[in-house]
Structure 1
Amino acid sequence: MKGLYLFSLVFIFCSCVSESENESTITIEVNDFEEIKLSSEKHYFEEIINPSSLALQGDMVLISEYHNVPDEFPRIHIINSKDWTYDKPKGRYGKGPLETAIPEFIGSKDPDNFWVYDYNNRKISTFLFNDTILLASSDRKITDPSMGPISLVLAPNGNYLGSPRENENKILEFVPEGKLIGTYGKHERLKEKPELKNFQISLLNGGRFGGNPTIGIYVIASVYRDLLEIFDYHTANFISVIGSGTKLPEFEYHESKFGGMLSFAPDVPTKYQGISISEQYIFALYSGYSPLDYSNSGLTAKEIRVFDLEGNPKWRFILDRSVSQISINEQTHEIYGLTTDENPGIAVFKISKVLLE
């Protein structure tokens, strides 16, 4: 198959420490949601070049840049959502002490600090909100080989939870020093492709990972399957939410020195592109567009599917513009999204307070 789109690569191996065997499944249809249209206001900042992700911490919106931004530009931007002004840059590019290369935010409610995991440099860095220094205030190197390229979120007890890109388990738990202490959930075999091994299935099921440590609910949102996997940290139970688009996409599996990778044709539509969890609901950014659509028109996702914490469908928010990542502001009843137009910025969608009560 020519022109295949590279989705994921990375090899992660770890031994099983503990796992969850309590799993249930919910099957949904598009008609199960109440459809609501949302309009937005866009805020543009010339300092932001090619944003890759965003996170909300207090009143501050954190924006990271893609790896292809020139080295001399900062990797992180802080935006004040109270008045939508540019606060300051953070994150000097590099591989040295206190520098960062590919930052991924580890969300928290700390008013003074924020954390990023830089898997390229294999470290967790702490940044101060209130100083004007690009460098991190401290670094913590990760030595456990299980902690490779992986998205990290805080667990309720202060540990880290991660969803590895290639592993027999769905979720791994690490102590702050980076040592693996637990694993949760096994990838189920697929009747459509019984020949696939667990590591291959993990690549197919993988995608965005988010959580809310206050309530202990975490979600893996698959990029290439109509699948959400909801994990309750307190009970170690999983709920799989499977949509109507259950047909598996065609792909090829390749081995490399970095581990396995899946490749897809560029016209294969993607599913979930982002995840954000409030204290009552799961907000899943749904795509339906392919990488080819993005290349031709900048379209990534214009729909947010909202579920309760047990995976029951509530609303489909139809957006007036395409976004690539989302975050929820529960205090102001707003959704923030990174726009995918020629001059990317932050789109603000207002949600009716009545809906969320």
Structure 2
Amino acid sequence: MKILNPFLLFIFLFSCATKNEEENHRIISLEDFKEISLNSEKHYFQEVINASSFALQGDKILISEYHNIPDESPRIHIINTSDWTYDKPKGRYGKGPLETFIPEFIVSRDTERFLVYDYNNRKISTFSINDTSLLATSDRKITNPNFGPMRLALTPNRNYLGVARENENKLLEFDLEGSLIAEYGEFEKLEERPELTKLQISLLSNGRFHGNPKNGIYVRASIYRDLLEIFDYKTKKFISVAGPDLNLPEFEYHQSEFGGMLSFEPDVHFKYQAVTVTNNYIFVLYSGFSQLDYSNTGSVAKEIRVFDLNGNPKWRLILDRSISGLGVNEKSNEIYGLTTDKDPGIAVFQIPDEALN
């Protein structure tokens, strides 16, 4: 029997570890994408006053309102994408049973109902898509203090996967009763800023979150860094995609009784603004604009970067208008977004055949 040289064994194991690390942490450039320009048409709905969040569920678009609209106004609107008609309002404003305060959508494939997470009311509410009542059909109270302000998605086994605003872990998993059952991906220290704590790094990496329970792929997209973190629920492994801009923005850190907060100069450029995971691709709305740009021109984002499910760059879709929010209709091969002009509506972009093959 031959005995393997310990030095050769070390070299072999080191090379395997290095290859695996390269596969899980990659840096990209703009040259890695093929660029395609897209034109749009716009649909306007006078019922929407000051749109906040945006979600596509089946053939319905769900739009929530900011908290600063009149109390008597509904907090949610349903739009039909089949004929671009206003379907109905939802969400009576309030803190009572079946009411909602600041709704955040938890997207599913259900065609009969949709879910809303309302952190201020400490509950997850179920709304019927078909009935005409503003009220939810049921509430599930959340008492676990770990279930703070976060973005949520459903897992393949119908648990909740969440991104907390401030946490040492990248993802948290809760059961249907709101009990914490798993934590995934502890934040790594940054070589260029070794003084930052993991909680501060979590704030700097914070942003948008979306997942697809069908294929088990979930994506964190940072607002402040050129960074995507792709999580495979089946393997429980992450793939980090960084770049093209690897620089960290300048910021000030503030601590209060409510947790940490980062403040930025108004000319700091934002990065990812929205993310959607389809069956085959990851669509990410990229900004490159600052708060100053938005104040002066209303520009939020005019570019969508498309990756395969392993984080390999595919296309840069250059848009003819600025949008916020993102939805991809795989049946009609259309992209939807909220326009950011003086009279906001829904922009519709047709995905070209060359970006589907």
- Give the TM-score of the pair, scaled to structure 2: 0.93
CA distance in structure 2 between the aligned counterparts of 1:44 and 1:244, rounded to whole angstroms: 35
What aligned pairs does 1:99-248 form with structure 2 within 5 A after superposition?
99-248=99-248
CA distance in structure 2 between the aligned counterparts of 1:188 and 1:226, rounded to whole angstroms: 16
Q: Give the corresponding residue for 1:9.
A: none
Report the residue type matching 1:37 in the other structure: S
CA distance in structure 1 between the aligned counterparts of 2:314 and 2:244, rounded to whole angstroms: 16
CA distance in structure 1 between the aligned counterparts of 2:277 and 2:50, rounded to whole angstroms: 25
Report the residue type matching 2:92 in the other structure: R
What aligned pairs does 1:206-355 form with structure 2 within 5 A after superposition?
206-355=206-355
Q: Give the corresponding residue for 1:3.
A: none
The aligned length equals 337
Q: Deviation digits for residues 309-340 of structure 1, max 9, x if unmatched?
A: 00000000000000011010000000000111
In the TM superposition, residue 97 of structure 1 has moved relative to its aligned partner by 0.7
CA distance in structure 1 between the aligned counterparts of 2:305 and 2:57, rounded to whole angstroms: 22
> Does structure 2 retain, via aligned residues, the 8 Å contact 1:306–1:314?
yes
3-state SS, counterpart of residue 172 of structure 1: strand
> Does structure 2 retain, via aligned residues, the 8 Å contact 1:53–1:338?
no
3-state SS, counterpart of residue 204 of structure 2: helix
Q: Deviation digits for residues 283-331 of structure 1, max 9, x if unmatched?
A: 0000000011111111000000000000000000000000011010000
Q: Give the corresponding residue for 1:6.
A: none
CA distance in structure 2 between the aligned counterparts of 1:295 and 1:68, rounded to whole angstroms: 18
In the TM superposition, residue 225 of structure 1 has moved relative to its aligned partner by 0.3
What aligned pairs does 1:44-59 form with structure 2 within 5 A after superposition?
44-59=44-59
* Percent of residue pairs identical: 68
> Does structure 2 retain, via aligned residues, the 8 Å contact 1:324–1:340?
yes
CA distance in structure 1 between the aligned counterparts of 2:185 and 2:270, rounded to whole angstroms: 24
CA distance in structure 2 between the aligned counterparts of 1:306 and 1:246, rounded to whole angstroms: 19
Report the residue type matching 1:85 in the other structure: T
In the TM superposition, residue 31 of structure 1 has moved relative to its aligned partner by 1.1
* 1:81 aligned onto 2:81: yes
CA distance in structure 2 between the aligned counterparts of 1:331 and 1:72, rounded to whole angstroms: 36
CA distance in structure 2 between the aligned counterparts of 1:86 and 1:132, rounded to whole angstroms: 13
> Does structure 1 retain, via aligned residues, the 8 Å contact 2:281–2:308?
yes
Q: Give the corresponding residue for 2:13.
A: none
Q: Give the corresponding residue for 1:24.
A: 24
3-state SS, counterpart of residue 120 of structure 2: coil
Answer with 51-60 or 261-270: which moved more: 51-60
> Does structure 2 retain, via aligned residues, the 8 Å contact 1:171–1:184?
yes
In the TM superposition, residue 354 of structure 1 has moved relative to its aligned partner by 4.2
3-state SS, counterpart of residue 120 of structure 1: helix
CA distance in structure 2 between the aligned counterparts of 1:69 and 1:223, rounded to whole angstroms: 25
Q: Give the corresponding residue for 1:7.
A: none
Q: Deviation digits for residues 6-58 of structure 1, max 9, x if unmatched?
A: xxxxxxxxxxxxxxx98811110011100000000100000001111211111
CA distance in structure 2 between the aligned counterparts of 1:335 and 1:279, rounded to whole angstroms: 14
- Structure 1 runs (4+) deviating above 3 angstroms are none
CA distance in structure 2 between the aligned counterparts of 1:120 and 1:43, rounded to whole angstroms: 31
Q: Which has the higher helix share?
A: 2
Q: Give the corresponding residue for 1:12.
A: none
CA distance in structure 2 between the aligned counterparts of 1:353 and 1:186, rounded to whole angstroms: 39
CA distance in structure 1 between the aligned counterparts of 2:214 and 2:33, rounded to whole angstroms: 26
> Does structure 2 retain, via aligned residues, the 8 Å contact 1:190–1:196?
yes
CA distance in structure 2 between the aligned counterparts of 1:207 and 1:58, rounded to whole angstroms: 24
In the TM superposition, residue 355 of structure 1 has moved relative to its aligned partner by 2.3
3-state SS, counterpart of residue 202 of structure 2: helix
3-state SS, counterpart of residue 353 of structure 2: coil
Q: Deviation digits for residues 253-275 of structure 1, max 9, x if unmatched?
A: 01111100011111100000000
CA distance in structure 1 between the aligned counterparts of 2:173 and 2:304, rounded to whole angstroms: 28
In the TM superposition, residue 161 of structure 1 has moved relative to its aligned partner by 0.2
Q: Deviation digits for residues 214-250 of structure 1, max 9, x if unmatched?
A: 1000000000000000000000010000012111100
User: Structure 2 regions of 5+ residues with no counterpart?
Assistant: 1-19
- Higher relative CO (Cα under 8 Å, sequence separation at least 6) belongs to 1
CA distance in structure 1 between the aligned counterparts of 2:244 and 2:60, rounded to whole angstroms: 37
Report the residue type matching 1:355 in the other structure: A
CA distance in structure 1 between the aligned counterparts of 2:220 and 2:101, rounded to whole angstroms: 24
CA distance in structure 2 between the aligned counterparts of 1:246 and 1:30, rounded to whole angstroms: 13
Cα RMSD for the two superposed structures: 1.1
> Does structure 2 retain, via aligned residues, the 8 Å contact 1:173–1:182?
yes
CA distance in structure 2 between the aligned counterparts of 1:326 and 1:92, rounded to whole angstroms: 25
- Give the TM-score of the pair, scaled to structure 1: 0.93
Report the residue type matching 2:287 in the other structure: S
